[in-house]
Structure 1
Amino acid sequence: MRHSQAKVHRMFELIEPIATVTFSEVANEAFLALGMRNYWDGYFAGRAAPLGLAPPEVVHAVFYNFADGEVARHIPWVWGKTTPREAIAVRERGSTAALRQRIGQLADSPGLVRVADLATRAAVSAPTEGRVLYAGLRALDVPEEPLARLWHAATLLREHRGDGHNAALVAHGIGGTEAHVLLALSLGMRTEKFGRIHHLPKAQLAAVVDGLRARGLVNAAGGFTDTGRETSERIEALTDELAAPAYDVLDAHELDELIAGLEPVAAAAQSVHD
């Protein structure tokens, strides 16, 4: 059945802190032990592994929002240190360990199996057409251990939504770096202070902002215009709409049960993450 946009968006808020433990120090250390040079080597090895030995141009297109040349600094170099198959296993182990560390006793709570099962039902039910990274993850085996299964399901749902978000950005003519500028502004941050793009050369970042200003999305002070804010909100609404099919397999009671079960887990993961 189709659920309200509010509940679909609430699922995004709940799966995000669970899935993103994969970018934590615990998982990073597992990749460094393989010979990775830094955090970003492990990031690209783990996240791109479901795509196989895809060239950097393909990974850049699928990930969408990295600046030109950033992917190529890591792909294919990382495949000289590990294989996609090994990277997938290392990522799962490291992420599960990180999640267990963050949520403590909740990891062994009686209800976790049910939450993992409901999340997995949703995560493996969505259509894969046009969802490249999600399709790559769907081709992997679902872990048997409940906590690993919950992390895997959250990752599937996150990347399914992310693939849809990229489609929404393309539909609105928003490029990857531009998307980060809009995100920074939606969070009330100056673009030059935003962690995902602050490292870019000032001239490059200024050119992106100037382009958005020329389109009437950013004002002279570097903030949103009304049109810019409306565009950002439309993109987020479309992203939620495109994410909704993943939850159609659950009835209203099951989705409410899943949301209630995820809330303490997400809160525990988020409190450490912050």
Structure 2
Amino acid sequence: MKAARVAWRRLEPVHGMIYFVPEAHDRYAALGLKDRAGYFASRSAPFGRASAELVIATFYNFHPDLVRRAVPAAWDVTTPDKILDARREAAAAALRRAGIHEQPTMTETLALARRAAEAACEHPHGRPLFAAHATLPWPDEPIEQLWHAQTLLREFRGDGHVATLLTEGIGPLEALVLHAASGTVPPVFLKVSRAWPEQEWAAAEQRLRERGLVEGEELSDQGRALRKHVEDRTDELALPAYAALGADGCERLAEISRPLGRAVVDQGLLNLG
């Protein structure tokens, strides 16, 4: 399980950069999508003309009003197919800028990541956002195939994470507060990016204090134990994808994908600015 998690984390920048790179923002703007609409529309486009409620449910931790300002208004200015094309083209352009296609382990990384992603496609049950992405055709270009493979693995894992949060009675805002209380992400970033008002954030903090999960603004021992359980369970739910590689395959993917993920970070593709 540990090797599978390491493999996912090391290759995740290859997917995650799509939310920050100008190649994506510029293409969405050319389609008429302003501000955060590009993010919500591009990630939900595999559903077709998704409703705000569907996006709220599957993305999980964004304030509903933020989503409703972007969806379904996005479908009035462009189409899901055009957005999907723009997203795929942006991913390829950004990854080429990072030199991913020139990495000597690119071909082997793609082969392993695609095998895991195709194994995940055999387990769509209860994973709506992943299942929607799984209906998309595989691109022709290797660099686009790698991005698509890691996108599938990310959404597969993400749906499992949401299921775990629900099982543990952790709502969207509570999940963010626990994340902030862990000290890994500044609370201000989560508040602004997910658009939760200060009053609602404070109320969620109080609910978690009453559950014994937060002390002051930090996790309690109970809170740390719960957070670890959620992460461990999320890892377990992601295993159907990585089981296709076996332990040795996961370790190999973790090893050879590191330079690719590192290239994304070193080229600044994850910079918020």
Length-normalised TM-score, structure 1: 0.92
Question: Does the CA-based 8 Å contact 2:13-2:264 persist in structure 1?
Answer: yes
Q: Cα distance 1:228–1:253, how it changes in 2: closer, same or farther (>3 A)?
A: closer
Q: Aligned residues: percent identity?
A: 38
Q: In 1, distance between residues paired with 2:148 and 2:103?
A: 18
The corresponding residue for 2:244 is: 249
The corresponding residue for 1:267 is: 262
Question: Does the CA-based 8 Å contact 2:138-2:148 persist in structure 1?
Answer: yes
Q: In 2, distance between residues paired with 1:83 and 1:15?
A: 30
Choose from 148, 151, 155 the match for 2:151. 155
Q: In 1, distance between residues paired with 2:185 and 2:50?
A: 34
The corresponding residue for 1:239 is: 234
Q: In 2, distance between residues paired with 1:248 and 1:151?
A: 20
The corresponding residue for 2:30 is: 33
Instruction: Identify which of structures 1 and 2 has the higher relative contact order when contacts are C-alpha pairs closer than 8 Å and 6+ apart.
Output: 2
Q: In 2, distance between residues paired with 1:190 and 1:85?
A: 35
Question: Does the CA-based 8 Å contact 2:183-2:218 persist in structure 1?
Answer: no
CA positional deviation for 1:52? 1.1
- The 5 Å alignment of 1:50-89 reads 50-89=46-85
CA positional deviation for 1:110? 4.4
Q: In 2, distance between residues paired with 1:95 and 1:227?
A: 40
The corresponding residue for 2:18 is: 22
Q: In 2, distance between residues paired with 1:69 and 1:172?
A: 25
Length-normalised TM-score, structure 2: 0.92
Q: In 1, distance between residues paired with 2:103 and 2:95?
A: 14
Bigger mean CA offset, 198-207 vs 23-32: 198-207
CA positional deviation for 1:188? 4.6
Q: In 2, distance between residues paired with 1:119 and 1:188?
A: 27
Bigger mean CA offset, 257-266 vs 179-188: 179-188
- The 5 Å alignment of 1:188-227 reads 188=184, 191=187, 193=188, 195-198=189-192, 199-219=195-215, 221-227=216-222
Cα displacement string for residues 199-225 of structure 1 (whole angstroms, at most 9, x for unaligned residues): 532211101111111111111x22111
- The 5 Å alignment of 1:138-149 reads 138-149=134-145
Question: Does the CA-based 8 Å contact 1:115-1:261 persist in structure 2?
Answer: yes
Q: In 1, distance between residues paired with 2:250 and 2:256?
A: 10
For these two proteins, the number of residue pairs brought into alignment is: 264
Question: Does the CA-based 8 Å contact 2:11-2:260 persist in structure 1?
Answer: no
Q: In 2, distance between residues paired with 1:167 and 1:214?
A: 23
Question: Does the CA-based 8 Å contact 1:15-1:158 persist in structure 2?
Answer: no
Question: Does the CA-based 8 Å contact 1:65-1:179 persist in structure 2?
Answer: yes
Q: Cα distance 1:252–1:216, how it changes in 2: closer, same or farther (>3 A)?
A: closer
Q: In 2, distance between residues paired with 1:78 and 1:190?
A: 30
CA positional deviation for 1:250? 1.4
Unaligned runs of 5+ residues in structure 2 are: none
Q: Secondary structure at the match of 2:7?
A: helix
Q: In 1, distance between residues paired with 2:252 and 2:18?
A: 25
